[in-house]
Structure 1
Amino acid sequence: MRKGQQPPWIVADELWARIEPLLPVVPRRPDHPGRRRLDDRKVLSGILFVLHTGIPWEFLPQEMGFGSGMTCWRRLRDWNDAGVWQRLHESLLAELNAAGALDWSRAVIDGSHVRALKGGPKTGPSPVDRARTGSKHHLITEAHGIPLAVSLTGGNRNDVTQLMPLIEAVPPVRGRRGRPRRRPDTIYADRGYDHDKYRKQVRAVGVTPVIARRGTGHGSGLGIHRWVVEQSFALLHWFRRLRIRWEIRDDIHEAFLSLACGIICWRRLQVVQRRHS
């Protein structure tokens, strides 16, 4: 972190202005006065602290004003159930689209293994990690590597099984005149997605598949387009909490994934705004 730069878990005013309207309102019950509810912004900083550092919930430093780890965990769960992180991601995609920062001419898809040390739903024996229990992050990005959708499966699931679900998971992105956009023109993928059955399914939704063939030599040229998804995985796994799956509950890990995608989009939007200022 540069000198004078705020820690990444401090919620900037501009980001908070986008998140606060999405949070569900919890009315204070007069018949149960109890302790005053901890400020949502402070709790969000605690959630981001865990996401960035990977620290266990029980070790969250309360002297920094975050509240207890259990408070932050509950708020993360409740906000995820309310769809806050997904709506944040969609609203930031709309802002990027309005700024002309999304390139819909192509999308790129890939998967990445992570260990799941405590097991749980959506885990399985990883074929690339000596059959140890793991999960897979599946990601689809637009041409510049901005994440459009992300999903979680067991480590033994074939990448191609998530091709259509990820395409369908891309939300309708507003920000420009006309109908919201949710389909790229083409989609690029490696040999793990080489199945004619799925090529037909992709074409059926109006997208042209560009998928490397098995048994052919390397040097197909797809790498000049596909590298952006590898870069996006590097950004996603820069958040230490996502490098290893510590959560038994899959919805909590998915909440971290969705929140991380929103943060990546937020940072990209800041870069775009600086260029235009």
Structure 2
Amino acid sequence: MGNRQSRPWIVSDELWSLVEPLLPKPGPKKVEGRPRVPDRQVLCGILFVLHTGIQWEYLPQELGFGSGMTCWRRLAAWNEAGVWDQLHQLLLNELRSKNQLDWERAVIDSSHVRAARPGPKSGPSPVDRARPGSKHHLIVDGQGIPLAVSLTGGNRNDVTQLEPLLDKIPAVAGQVGRPRRRPDALLADRGYDHDKYRRLLWQRGIRPVIARRGEPHGTGLGIFRYVVERTIAWLHGFRRLRIRWERRDDIHEAFLGLAVCLITHRHVRRLC
């Protein structure tokens, strides 16, 4: 255990047993040459970049990950194949089968990150002197387990992602009856204070619990809302997510989806 904590990019047998069946099968090599780097080693290289924030070209070759370009290409291909979405759903199913998801309430929030280079889903950040930035939008269950995540430009209003995030919550199986994808209530801060969206939540069968502008602080929501702030802190514990280095939005989204899987996997491991 200590060895894995000091080298968090090492893929455990248990995690690999979940990931491997989801990976697309490689096509035939177009050019003869060096043998293909095994997927597990490449995943270790991707996790090394995610945890350390190192640039692809500086990925240490002596650790056997393959080149930075190999890891980058594999990450893009796996993301396009929906690997992280499928893995996240498997993990949520496992949690629900053990009755470990809190559907009583969900909590939504967002966080700004600086974008090193402008690209799709970046924009002038209102909290960083209009420099290029992006936002990570997140919805979690009552314990802070990630249910859905999205990426937008730094200038997008939080409330624009309320419905898209709810739509991204997968249909979570694991118990007798229909899969579940809707919390009983949704908690949010003043940035989501619009009656239009309250009505939309009621129409979905979700009770809105949204702080109102102009009301004094200390309304009591903080005792429940802190879980999403803690999960955002966990996300940004992955150094690659603290700054958006990638111009391509799909690569940053791939890192974001992988990080969500790793956080969810930690909750699964606690059950073991």
TM range (shorter): over 0.9
TM-score scaled by length of structure 2: 0.97
Shift of 1:71: 0.2
Q: Which residue of 1 aligns with 2:108?
A: 109
Q: How does 1:174-213 map to 2 (within 5 A)?
A: 174-213=173-212
Q: Identify the residue that residue 34 of structure 1 maps to in structure 2.
A: 33
Question: Is it true that 1:134 corresponds to 2:133 in the alignment?
Answer: yes
Is 1:148 equivalent to 2:177 in the alignment? no
Is contact 2:171–2:179 with CA below 8 Å preserved after alignment? yes
| Matched residue, 1:19 | 19
State the shift of 1:34 in Å.
3.2
Give TM-score scaled by structure 1 length.
Answer: 0.96
Amino acid in the other structure paired with 1:209: P
Aligned pair count reads 272
Write out per-residue CA displacement over residues 76-95 of structure 1, whole angstroms, 9 at most, x where no aligned residue: 00000000011011111111
Which runs of at least 4 in structure 1 moved beyond 4 Å after TM superposition? 1-6
Unpaired stretches in structure 1, ≥5 consecutive residues: none
Deviation at 1:28, TM superposition (A): 2.9
Deviations 1:114-136 (A, max 9, x none): 00011101111111111111000
The SS at the match of 1:137 is: strand
**Match runs of 1:151-162 below 5 Å:** 151-162=150-161
| Contact 2:4 2:10 (C-alpha < 8 Å) held by counterparts | no
Shift of 1:27: 3.6
Of stretches 168-177 and 5-14 in structure 1, the one that deviates more from structure 2 is: 5-14
The one-letter code of the counterpart of 2:161 is Q
User: Matched residue of 1:267: which SS?
Assistant: helix
Q: CA deviation at 1:37?
A: 1.2
Q: Tell me, what secondary structure is at the counterpart of 1:235?
A: helix
Compared CA separation, residues 135 and 182, structure 1 to 2 (3 A): same
Amino acid corresponding to residue 177 of structure 1 in structure 2:
V
Q: Find the residue that maps to 2:271 and give its secondary structure.
A: helix
- Report deviation, 1:172: 0.3
Q: Report sequence identity in percent.
A: 66
Alignment partners' CA distance in 2, 1:65 and 1:3: 17
Question: 2:226, 2:137 → 1: CA distance?
Answer: 15
**Where in structure 2 are the equivalents of 1:90-105 lying within 5 Å?**
90-105=89-104
SS in 2 for 1:272: coil
C-alpha displacement of 1:35: 2.6
Q: Measure the CA separation in 1 of the matches of 2:15 and 2:249.
A: 26
**Cα pair distance change 1:44/1:196, threshold 3 Å:** same
1:9 is the counterpart of 2:9: yes
Counterpart Cα distance in 2 of 1:105 and 1:50: 36
Give the letter aligned to residue 154 of structure 1: G
- Structure 1 residues 113 and 18: alpha-carbon distance in aligned structure 2, compared to 1, 3 A threshold: same
Superposed CA deviations along residues 163-210 of structure 1, whole A, max 9, x for unmatched, are 111111100011111100000000000000000011111111111110
Q: In structure 2, how many angstroms separate the alpha carbons of the residues matched to 1:32 and 1:239?
A: 36
Hey, what's the Cα distance between the residues in 2 that align with 1:213 and 1:50? 40
After TM superposition, give the deviation of residue 4 of structure 1 in Å. 7.5
- Give the CA RMSD over aligned residues: 1.3
Please report how far the alpha carbon of residue 33 of structure 1 lies from its aligned counterpart in structure 2 after TM superposition. 3.7
- The whole-number CA distance in structure 1 between the counterparts of 2:115 and 2:27 is 37
Q: Hey, what's the Cα distance between the residues in 1 that align with 2:168 and 2:208?
A: 17
User: Hey, what's the Cα distance between the residues in 2 that align with 1:192 and 1:133?
Assistant: 21
